[in-house]
Structures are given as structure tokens and as C-alpha cells.
Structure 1
Amino acid sequence: MEYLRLESFPELRSPVLICAFAGWNDAAGAATGAARFVVQRFGARRFGGFDPELFFDFREVRPLVRLTVRGEREISWPQNDVFFARNPTGPHDVAVLLGTEPNLRWRTFAGEVAELAERLGVELVVSLGALLADVPHTRPVRVTGSALDAAVAERLGLQPSRYEGPTGIVGVLHTLLRERGIPGATLWANVPHYLTSSQNPGATAALLRRVSELLEVEFDLRELDAAALRFVAEVEGALQANPEAQEYVRRLEAAYEEGGQEQPQLPRGEDLVLDIERFLREQREGGNAG
């Protein structure tokens, strides 16, 4: 591996590699939130990362400047780091790749990840994603799963991937994994398209429930579930002042119950999104001020 800088190389037992990238694949931060939960839950340790200089256009993904407690300027660069953890309660140790979807050299980046998976002896690579969909915030979050390899899909109870169209780093990665004979699967949480930037704890929890099945380990999701209830209550508060939005959500609920075959038309979509997001932002800023 030429571009993935490893500080150590762990010996893992039947490992599963979990990947999540902020950006196009990560609506409402659900996927990276789930991967971060896994890192924290297992007390995973960082053992390497990619040099951001090679894989990012910093005009598109800007570094962040902050002041330290000593008043010194510090630059935080976009990262893609790898972590590992032993799993004392299940058959699979865990590796996690957590970061931001790169702008450049996708084949090189994905090839490095595939080589790492091969060297670690990874038995399964699971990429996490979240997409904006015509679903209501009042119903359980749907998680869809697929695999490029039909045999892997059948073994995990997923659907063979038949997607055609624009793809992200996840699609490139799984293609290279298949070429190396490494089993891979993707899990996608469906989040309401009218909540474009708010963190969605329910979607994060839904992804984690599927991950826990693959790892054969139990996660304590009580805090996330409580946060999901608060999130729904906040959105309901935002809808009180917008009867048209309430009606739209009711129609989404009906379509959800019927299996989603007929999607309602979005009334003044930009206004609906902005109204709800503005309300949620004001609620949180008000809470922080108190």
C-alpha cells in the first residue's frame, strides 16, 4: 500500500470492515454517525490513514481553521482514517474506515482500501450510506441492502445490486472488492428528503441494528432511540405552522403504508425544506442559548 499510511498492523479474528464516508453517500450524517458509534462502542484504535493532499480538492472540501485553548491557529484537514477493535462478545473483530468521500483518484483510493482488506483477512466489507427518499419522518426508517455478488446477497439475505446511474466512492470500492474476490455489501438508510441537513438519529440507529446482526453483537441504542423521539417531536413542532407541509407528510405516510408505489407531489419543495430546517435550527440555537 503506497498511499495508506499505517502506524501498526493489527492481527484480527475473522474481521468485518465497516466503511462510511461523509458527503454524497451520507444524508443527514446517518452513515458516518453509525460508523462513529461503532468506533466508540468498541473503543477502536486508529492504526492509519490517508494523506488528504493526494485525494482532495481543497477548493471543494475546505480545511477548517480553529483556535486552540492557547489561542493558536490550527488547521483541520479532511481525513480518512482506519481503526480496529477486538470483539470479545462476537465471532468477528472489527475494522472501520471513517472519513470523507475523496474528490480525486477514486480508483487509487479504493484500490488501497481493497488491498488493506485483503491483507487484514477481511471476511466481509460493509459500506454504510444514507439517501434522501420520499419517506415520512413519522415511520420506522427503512434500511435497504444489496451486494454486487449474487451469492453474497443470498447468504446475507440482501438483494443483488441492479443499480445503474451515477455512483460514488462506495460503488467504485465494491467493484474493486469483487475483482479481488472480497465479499462486500452495502446498507442504505432512507431519510426524509425534506430534512436535508439535520442529523437524523433514527436513521443512524436503523443502520446500527443491521450492523449488529452482521457482527452478531448487541448494541445499546437507548440513547439514540430517545434522541430519535426528540427529533420527531421537533419536526412535528415545525409542521404545526405549515398546514400544507402537514398534508404532504400525511400523504407520504399513506404511500409508506401502501409500500411506496405512489409518491405524492411535493408542494413548494424548497419552501417546505427551508421552513422545517429553519425551525429546527432556531430551536437548537435557542436551547444552546439557555
Structure 2
Amino acid sequence: MGNLEWLDGPAARRREAGSSAEGPGPVLVAAFEGWNDAGDAATGAVEHLWERWGATTIASIDPEEFYDFTATRPHARREAGRRVIDWPANEFGWAEPDGTNGVVLLRGVEPQLRWRTFCGTVLEVADELGCEWVLTIGALLADVPHTRPTPVFGTAEDPGLGGRLGLGPSEYEGPTGILGALQGECGARGLPAASLWAAVPSYAPSAPSPKAAVTLAARAVTLLGTTVDTSVLDLASLSYERQLDELVAEDDTTLEYVHLLERQHDASERATDDGVVPNADQLLDEVERFLREQ
């Protein structure tokens, strides 16, 4: 497609081989700023993988066709004595972490226009590089406490890939974002795809969540069969928890809400351990009643 710009780099040999290359191909891992990225957790996870694996940019998508620039505005800055405009960027990076046949990382921004064409452009890269499957990463706001481990759930529509990764199909029906559109296009083309989603506390919607980002990164590398150093995100997660502890403690209503969520989480954990949680429904009703009253 004319809106895709390829750059020379370490993935050139793989691109030349494409889907005809012998053996399993690389995996495309994608995350987008916007509706699918609560707490910047999804893009934070991919950004961390990009940096730690030393990914090299191999391609980018021209934003002209896909964005309403009055909604997603470009940024102006000065560099080396001149004015520079940064447009919404969708960049593909090539990395070769241990135990893989290569990973193609996509860090992007959810477009406003021509989603089907945009998804086709993304999958053109997957096809050129002979990608074996696609992993999308997202994050959503949910009724979860910041004081407990970040919940992450995964789905896969393809039975073969799902069986290999231990994931089942999604039961969700309703409005979707670019990740849902990309998953749908993968299915239409017969390209196996999986998705990971992290839950971010709804009472801290504007705070970047390194805690959710590190959980997504760790789960992603497990599915990919490799590893990544997460020490930087681990330290940032401790700071994130301390800051939220202080903010929550300043408001009795929010503190009460967090305690309710903690009780609900702990009850769910006990259900997993022993299969019996007599008050689980009562706790859920209590949370919902609290939200209605507030």
C-alpha cells in the first residue's frame, strides 16, 4: 500500500523471504494509544519491550489518510534551531529476543478514519515478514483495586493458537476499538491472533499505570516464549502504588470504595483456591450499590 514506508534494517532479510521462509515466522505485537490504552498500560508495555530488546524501526504508516488532525493534533517543537512537526506515528520495530524467530513490535495511535484500510496496512507488514500470528495488547478501566495484582485476561479466536497458548475465544459483544477491528481482520484473512487486556483502576483514569504495563509485558513474553528485564517498571510500580495510597487516603469515599474492591478481589481469589465463596454475589451487589449512591 502507498501509505506504508519501509526502511532498510535488520529485518530486510526476513522481508525478502516473507511467508516463504522456512520454519515458524515472527510474531507481530501491537498496541495503540487511545481508547484501548487505559493508564497508558498497553503502549507502556510495548514501549518497554521495544527499549529492552533494542528494536530497530523497519517501517511506518503515513498518517495522512487515517487521522482527523483536529482530534489527534500534531505537536510542534524545536530541534537543532528549527521548527519540527510530530505527526501521529505508527512505527514497526524489529527485535530478536532469545527463544523467538523475531518479534515485530507496533507502537501506534488509534486512528479516527478508514479503519479497514488501516488494518490492511498493518497486516501487509505481517504478510511481508511472514508473521506466524498476531498479539494485540490493550488496557481498560475496571472496578479493581490498585493494592492487588493487576488482572490480565487473554483471548484467542483461532482454536489452534488458543489451545497452544491456553486461551479461549472472547464472549464480548459491544463497541470496539482498533484492536477489535484488527482482530476481526486477522480472522477474515485466516491469520491466527490473540489478545491480552489489563484492568486498570477506574478511580485513577488519568494516571499512567506502570503496574499494569509490567504485568502485560510479563504475560506477553510468556506467550512469546522469551524473557525481558522488567526491573525499571517494577520500581515504577512501587512508586505508583505509594502515590495512589496517599491520594486515596485523603478522601474517605474513595478509601471506602477501594476497601470494597479489595474485599471483592480477595473473595474471588478464595473462590479460585477452594471453590467456595458464600458472599461473592453480596460483595458485587455492595460495590454496585456504592457506585449508584455516589
Q: TM-score scaled to structure 1, two decimals? A: 0.87
Note the alpha carbon deviations across 1:27-55, whole angstroms, 9 max, x for none. Answer: 00000011111111111111111111111
Per-residue CA shift, 1:149-204, capped at 9, x if unaligned? 23322221112112111111111111111122211001001000111111111100
1:5 equivalent in structure 2: 5
- How far the C-alpha of 1:66 sits from its partner, in A, is 1.7
| Alignment correspondent of 1:287 | none
Residue 47 of structure 2 is aligned to residue 36 of structure 1: yes
Q: Which amino acid aligns with 1:40?
A: E
Structure 1 residues 253, 14: closer, same or farther in 2, change over 3 A? same
Once the two structures are superposed, the pairs formed by residues 139-154 of structure 1 within 5 Å of their partners are: 139-154=148-163
Superposed CA deviations along residues 223-248 of structure 1, whole A, max 9, x for unmatched, are 21121111111111112221221111
Match in the other structure for 2:93: 83
Contact 1:14 1:121 in 2 (8 A): yes
Equivalent runs, 1:118-129 vs 2, <5 Å: 118-129=127-138
Unaligned runs of 5+ in 1: 270-290
Moved over 6 A (4+): none
Aligned partner of 1:277 in structure 2 is none
How many angstroms does 1:267 deviate by? Answer: 7.4
Is the contact made by 2:53 and 2:228 (CA closer than 8 Å) also made in structure 1?
no
Report the more deviating stretch, 238-247 or 9-18.
9-18
3-state SS, counterpart of residue 160 of structure 1? coil
Q: Which residue of 2 aligns with 1:14?
A: 25
Secondary structure (helix, strand or coil) at the match of 1:228 reads: helix
Distance 2:96 2:158 in 1: 28
Please give the alpha-carbon distance, in whole angstroms, between the structure 2 residues aligned to 1:18 and 1:218.
Answer: 15
Structure-2 separation of matches of 1:4 and 1:111: 11
Q: Is the 8 A contact 1:50 1:80 kept in 2?
A: yes
CA contact (8 A) 1:81 1:97 kept: yes
Amino acid at match of 2:84: E
RMSD between superposed Cα atoms in Å: 1.7
1:102-251 correspondence to structure 2 within 5 Å: 102-251=111-260
Task: Quote the Cα distance in structure 1 between the aligned partners of 2:85 and 2:230.
Answer: 34
- Amino acid across the alignment from 1:103: Q
Is 1:68 the counterpart of 2:79? The answer is yes
Query: 1:69: Cα distance to partner?
Result: 5.0
| Count of aligned residue pairs for this structure pair | 267
Aligned to 1:282: none
**Structure 2 Cα separation of the partners of residues 258 and 3 of structure 1:** 50
Matched residues, percent identical? 43
> 1:204 corresponds to which letter in structure 2?
A
- Deviation at residue 268 of structure 1 after TM alignment: 7.6
C-alpha distance in structure 2 between counterparts of 1:236 and 1:132, whole Å = 18
Tell whether 2:34 aligns with 1:23.
Answer: yes
Tell whether the 8 Å contact from 2:200 to 2:212 is kept in structure 1 after alignment. yes
* Native 8 Å contact 1:92 1:215 kept in 2: no
